[in-house]
Amino acid sequence: MFARTRGANRTHGYDCLQLLFTRTTWTIDSLHDDILRTGMMKRYVTIWSLLLLTTVVLSTLTRPEIAQAKKLKVYSLPKTIAAGQMGIIVFQNPDPEHPKSQSKCTAERLIAWVKSDIPILRIEQNGKQVWMPLGSYQSVGDSCIATFMAPVTLEEGKATLFLVNGSDPSIPYYFNVQKKVETKLTTVEGGTIKPLTNFKIVGDGFVPEGIVDEKKAREELEANIGLSKLTPAQQWTAVNHRIMKDWDKLSEGNFLYLEQNGKTWRSFVESCGLSPAGMTLEFAAPPDIQPGLITLTLGIRMNNAEIAKTNPITATVTP
């Protein structure tokens, strides 16, 4: 009995040792697996971080605007403007080392934010926002001057403007929207006009230009009356008369009245731009204006009707 008990105890002790060894082995294996998993995780995190850093560096090299984008300051903005009217904005130059300029007579609304080489605008009012491009644009040293159009959807009252550089908006700037369109002429560049030559007027509060296909008009005139065979004076008269038929069908635009000695001419816009003195519009002078003083008045067309005229200014016609 005693012997059987001793044998049983030895067997039970052996079993306990075997169980202890098995559990110890399992614990060591589990610890080893944990170490391996931890090491793999560290390696994974390290590789992922390196890939992310490489992506950022490459993006910065290939798209420098990401690194250089910054919130820009607006130096000047119209205090009041009518919906659909053009205004002038002066702001901090985002890239003084690379001068940029463009001339545009139109300003189409953007569907949403878009990548652009020059800043764009986000205009907000009554919980709604509109994205707008800049029109004519010119960088001058540390500043930029540009035109923009107040969205036609704006209502009378206060509106907020953000100048967006890359994806970074500026602090908010405010302006008032009014119903009445106010526009003005200030001068003729150079002060003089010469028959059959282009000249520029300077002013503020113009509207975007409607699109008139001058090339098509000239082709029609060439086919119908042999435009190229006419004298320069006859060509001006024929083209002006033909284009004015289309011009009067446009919903918006600027056109110039020239008056001298009881006679009136009307001229369409050739191009738009900017100068340090304000917005510019370029016109071709009529062939039969005479040396001396001439009066100029700008007409503003919106919603298929002439809605405003500027006060007249005078210039000198030279031979």
Q: For 17-50, write each residue's pLDDT tens digit.
A: 354 444 444 444 554 454 445 555 555 445 545 5
CA dihedral 138, 142, 148, 154 (to 10 degrees): 180
Q: Which of 203, 160, 164 is nearest to 297 (CA)?
A: 203
pLDDT at 59: 43
Q: Is a pLDDT exceeding 70 seen at residue 53?
A: no
Q: In terms of domains, do 206 and 293 share one? A: yes
The pLDDT confidence band at residue 189, using thresholds 50, 70 and 90, is very high
Residue 235 lies in a domain: no
Mean pLDDT of 69-73: 81
Quote the domain boundaries for residue 282: 184-211+250-317
Separation CA 96–CA 287 (nearest Å): 43
Instruction: Please give the pLDDT value at position 37.
Output: 52
Examine residue 218 and state whether it is found in any structural domain, yes or no. Answer: no
* Per-residue pLDDT band at 235 (split at 50, 70, 90): very high
Mark whether 36 and 96 lie in a shared domain. no
Continuous H helices in 266-313: none
- Comparing 129-138, 199-208, 240-249, the range with the smallest average pLDDT is 240-249
168 and 193 assigned to the same domain? no
Q: Which residue has the higher pLDDT, 245 or 180?
A: 180
Do residue 24 and residue 149 come from a single domain?
no
pLDDT tens digit string along 284-306?
A: 999 999 999 999 999 999 988 88
Residues 164 and 201 in one domain: no
Whether residue 33 is contained in a domain is answered as yes
Task: Based on the fold, state whether residues 304 and 206 are members of the same structural domain.
Answer: yes
Please give the pLDDT value at position 12: 46
Please give the average per-residue pLDDT across 248-260, as a whole number.
90
Return the CATH number at 137.
Answer: 2.60.40.10
Q: Quick one: pLDDT band at residue 276, thresholds 50, 70, 90?
A: confident
5-19, 101-115, 131-145: segment of lowest average pLDDT? 5-19
Percent of the chain with pLDDT over 70: 78
Among the three residues 178, 201, 234, which one is the final residue of a domain in this structure? 178
- To the nearest whole number, what is the mean pLDDT of the chain? 82
CB-side exposure of 205: number of CA atoms within 13 Å?
Answer: 22
Residue 174 falls inside a structural domain: yes
Q: Do 94 and 126 belong together in one domain?
A: yes
User: What is the pLDDT at residue 46?
Assistant: 52
Task: Pick the closest to residue 287 from 235, 242, 213, 244 (CA basis).
Answer: 235
Cα torsion 211, 215, 216, 218: sign = positive
Are 117 and 150 in the same domain? yes
Local structure of residue 174 (DSSP, 8 states)? E
Q: H or E stretch including 32?
A: helix 2-62
Distance separating alpha carbons of residues 147 and 107, to the nearest angstrom: 9
CA distances from 266 to 26, 57, 247, 300 (A): 99, 58, 11, 13
Q: Is the pLDDT of residue 268 over 50?
A: yes
In a domain, 244, yes or no: no
Tens digits of residue pLDDT in 132-180: 999 999 998 999 999 999 999 999 999 999 999 988 899 999 999 999 9
3-state DSSP assignment of residue 36: helix
More confident residue, 218 or 18: 218
**Closest to 66 measured CA to CA, from 137, 168, 158:** 168
Residues 191 and 278 in one domain: yes
Q: What's the pLDDT score for residue 250?
A: 84
Instruction: Tell me if 289 sits within 8 A of 260, measured CB to CB.
Output: yes
More reliable by pLDDT, 281 or 251: 281
Last residue of a domain, one of 62, 88, 108: 62
Alpha-carbon span 280 to 173, nearest angstrom: 25
Q: What is the pLDDT of residue 251?
A: 86
Is residue 231 in a domain?
A: no
Confidence of residue 111 (pLDDT cuts 50, 70, 90): confident
Is-contact 175 78, C-beta < 8 A? Answer: yes
Q: Which amino acid is at 32?
A: H
The answer to whether 120 and 164 have CB atoms below 8 angstroms apart is yes
Give a yes or no: residue 242 inside a domain.
no
In-domain check, residue 245: no
Per-residue confidence (pLDDT) for residue 69, from 0 to 100: 57
C-alpha 269/C-alpha 252 separation (Å) is 12
- 114: confidence class by pLDDT, cuts 50, 70, 90: confident
For residue 140, count other CB atoms closer than 10 A to its CB.
14
Total domains present in the chain = 3
